[in-house]
Amino acid sequence: MIVTAMDVYKLLPKTNCGICGEASCMAFATKLSEKEMELSLCTQMMDEELEKLKNILAPAVSEVTIGTGDKAITIGGDEVLYRYELTYYNPTALVVDVSDDLEESELEERVKTIKDTEFERTGEKLTLDAIAIRNKSGNSEKFVETVKKVKDANLPLLLCSFNPDSMKAALKIVGSDRPLIYATTEYNIEEMAALALEYDCPITLFIPNDLDKMKELSNVLRSKGIKDIVLDPGTFVDAGIGDSLDNFIMIRRQAIEENDEDFRFPIMGVPAVTWISSKEDKVTTGMREATIAATLMNKYADILIMHGADIWELIPVLTLRQSLYTDPRKPQAVDPGIYEFGDVNENSPVLMTTNFALTYYTVEGDLKSGNVNCYLLVLDTGGRAVDVSVAGNQLNAKSVTDLIRNSGIENGVNHQKLIIPGLAAPVSGEIEDESGWEVMVGPRDSSGIPDFLTEKW
């Protein structure tokens, strides 16, 4: 159920006291319903209304936090089945595994790779979120030794063992760091639940392909007072991903449409199983794993354990995550104003573009890779691209003239020439008339800027 600002407003004190930092209760209600403010900022609530508000603001899918401090990750928190209905909250956590049978040097190298994985796209650094430590050896001591070594990586951990003794031994080392226990099953639920309670750690319930059993055991965990549960209905890859996908969709539908308390938890997928039965080469297996990860992320996976750690495999998964978890209600924008590239002086060319993030970072990339020395004026079009803002009249003679006047560029150069994007050609004459600057129409594609400047500047 989507909570509206009016639903929230009805329960607020309506005194417009301003203590929360907003001018009115309605403004606070609007931000609260859009998860832009915390309920605790209103200190004027009566207990009864406060409880009611907490209940209606609780997301359909519970939030679960793994790890502590600034590296902690929160998963879940979604309210809707389809992103266009609202937005998706808390990006899918991407986790890569290590196992306790690796040689020390292999383990060190793999942990370093996981920590160092970073890919920049549209101004955002995309990274991995956590490390899953598998008790592949079946030996508690080896598991503990590996946990001790990986602990220093300072990333949230998933402890992967079905053996309660191994889990207990590992939790003695890192229990206070709030690792995710993976996993409890119908066979170890008493011991694992006791550990989750003792160490106050989130726990994964692994029930492959049996949602009735999953519901029953989720209820058992909840009845013990465990609130932080992650559901893993199994990731089946050999006969295609269909069964897994069906289970993911049914769990999320039960949570959001039926408000079924036993399913209101984040879902885990384990594309890493692709490697277990694969008879293909490394590249083919890695591509298959990435495809499975992308498929499950599209259909509600809140956390994914992967095995492939090559950047070429991770880039499409990281990129998809970034795209899925942008807010469709807010255009992605950069700050408008004046930007400098390379060594600029009073003779440097002055280019212009809009503040749509994808446009800006494409232009930025082309200017940097072309070693261009220039000023770039970035127009506030509300995060719209050049052609869209010409059509919508955000890019017009007045807005560009205001940008020239207010940016201070007139003090930085000894000429009055502005290079506008090729897609803004229809308004070039108007800009020239209004601003008094000579307008040069640049290429339609920013990759052509370096050659354009060589020929015409």
Residues in contact with ligand SF4 by the rule CB under 6 A:
12-13, 15-20, 22, 25, 28, 42, 44
Among residues 12 and 273, whose Cβ is nearest to ligand SF4?
Answer: 12
DSSP characters for 52-80? Answer: HHHHHHS-SS-EEEES-GGG-EEEE----
**Beta-bridge partners for 230:** 204
Among residues 34 and 246, whose Cβ is nearest to ligand SF4?
Answer: 34
Among residues 25 and 363, whose Cβ is nearest to ligand SF4?
Answer: 25
Long-range contacts formed by 315-319: CB under 8 A, 24+ apart? 315/119, 316/290, 317/94, 317/290, 317/293, 318/94, 318/119, 318/121, 318/126, 318/127, 319/119, 319/121, 319/126
Among residues 42 and 352, whose Cβ is nearest to ligand SF4?
Answer: 42
Tokens of 97: 């595994």
What residues contact residue 383 under an 8 Å CB cut-off, 6+ apart? 330, 331, 332, 333, 355, 356, 357
Q: How far is the CB of 12 from ligand SF4 (least distance, A)?
A: 5
Q: How far is the CB of 2 from ligand SF4 (least distance, A)?
A: 20
Q: How far is the CB of 50 from ligand SF4 (least distance, A)?
A: 11
Q: How far is the CB of 330 from ligand SF4 (least distance, A)?
A: 23
Among residues 6 and 17, whose Cβ is nearest to ligand SF4?
Answer: 17
Among residues 18 and 328, whose Cβ is nearest to ligand SF4?
Answer: 18
Residue type, 390: V
Q: How far is the CB of 17 from ligand SF4 (least distance, A)?
A: 4
Tokens of 398: 């007045």
CB 122 within 8 Å of CB 361: yes
Residue type, 61: V
Among residues 38 and 165, whose Cβ is nearest to ligand SF4?
Answer: 38
Q: How far is the CB of 45 from ligand SF4 (least distance, A)?
A: 7
Q: How far is the CB of 32 from ligand SF4 (least distance, A)?
A: 8
Among residues 15 and 323, whose Cβ is nearest to ligand SF4?
Answer: 15
Q: How far is the CB of 48 from ligand SF4 (least distance, A)?
A: 15
Burial of 378 (0-12, 13-18, 19+ CB in 10 A): buried
Pinpoint the alpha helices (H) of 127-277. Answer: 140-151, 164-174, 189-199, 211-223, 242-256, 274-277
Alpha-carbon torsion, ordered 356, 360, 361, 365, to 10 deg: 160
Strands 438-441 and 118-121: unpaired
Classified as helix, coil or strand, 247 is helix
Residue with tokens 């949570």: 255
Q: How far is the CB of 203 from ligand SF4 (least distance, A)?
A: 36
Among residues 17 and 276, whose Cβ is nearest to ligand SF4?
Answer: 17
Q: How far is the CB of 44 from ligand SF4 (least distance, A)?
A: 4
Pinpoint the alpha helices (H) of 333-413. Answer: 357-369, 386-391, 397-407, 409-412
Pinpoint the alpha helices (H) of 71-126. Answer: 104-116
CB 232 within 8 Å of CB 183: yes
Among residues 21 and 342, whose Cβ is nearest to ligand SF4?
Answer: 21
